[in-house]
Copies of this chain bind each other. A is one copy, B any other.
Amino acid sequence: MKPTLPQSALDQLFLAAHTAQGFQAESVPDATLHALYDLLKWGPTSMNCQPARYVFVRSAEAKERLRPALSPGNVAKTMAAPVSVIVATDTHFFDHLPEQFPAYDARPMFAGNAALAQETGMRNGSLQGAYLIIAARALGLDCGPMSGFNAASVDAAFFPDCRYRSNFLVNLGVADPAAGYPRGPRLDFGTAAQIL
């Protein structure tokens, strides 16, 4: 059996990690974003379907395109974050299956069933959004994930051909320890889990 990771790693990934509400000015270079993708991409998805798409919004011009879609409480921190990631779902993820899942031709199973494609895209695209959060923490970055935005506005501004749909946003950078709320409680084991 492989070992449990060192306590410092468990702290950085989960136990002491905390949603960032503000960031230091330090920028996030291209090389870090490539390293982030090269880590998170190995997280598992069903049939290796990999429906998530990541738009790293970093330039002032792209941030301004994002601004009108943000909920009021998320504007200032998102405009100031070094990078804001739009985690989106490719509604035609199944076009990549013949190459990504060579075991058999799984494309028709999704191309002919819009409900299954939508559900599979949402489930696995969300898994891949979590992989982004955890992989960023593994690289020493802090994350501020958010659902407070107008998805239709983001999609109109960034995905005019309607193939991708925004799922959620994640601000990325090095947290300003002065900006943050106390961490919320968590459900106890007996409420969230059972052993049968």
Chain A residues engaging chain B, CB cutoff 8 angstroms: 1-6, 9-10, 12-15, 17, 19, 26, 30, 33-34, 37-44, 46-48, 50, 52-59, 61-62, 96, 99-103, 120, 122-124, 126-131, 133-135, 137-143, 145-148, 167-168, 174, 181, 184-187, 189, 191-196
Contact A147 to B127, CB < 8 A, known contacts A5-B9, A186-B42: no
In the assembled complex, which residues on chain B have CB atoms less than 8 Å from the CB atom of A139? 4-5
A48 CB to nearest chain B CB (Å)? 4
Q: Name A134's contact: one of B30, B43, B48 (CB within 8 Å).
A: B43
In the assembled complex, which residues on chain B have CB atoms less than 8 Å from the CB atom of A50? 186-187, 192
Closest CB pairs A-B (n = 9): A130-B130, A126-B126, A62-B196, A48-B184, A2-B140, A46-B147, A54-B193, A127-B130, A41-B186
In the assembled complex, which residues on chain B have CB atoms less than 8 Å from the CB atom of A138? 4-5, 9-10, 13-14
A102 CB to nearest chain B CB (Å)? 8
Contact A46 to B126, CB < 8 A, known contacts A5-B12, A57-B196: no
Would you mind naming 18 contact pairs between A and B with Cβ atoms under 8 Å apart?
A2-B142, A9-B9, A10-B138, A14-B43, A14-B135, A34-B189, A46-B145, A47-B147, A48-B184, A52-B192, A56-B193, A58-B195, A96-B191, A103-B181, A123-B126, A123-B168, A126-B126, A130-B131
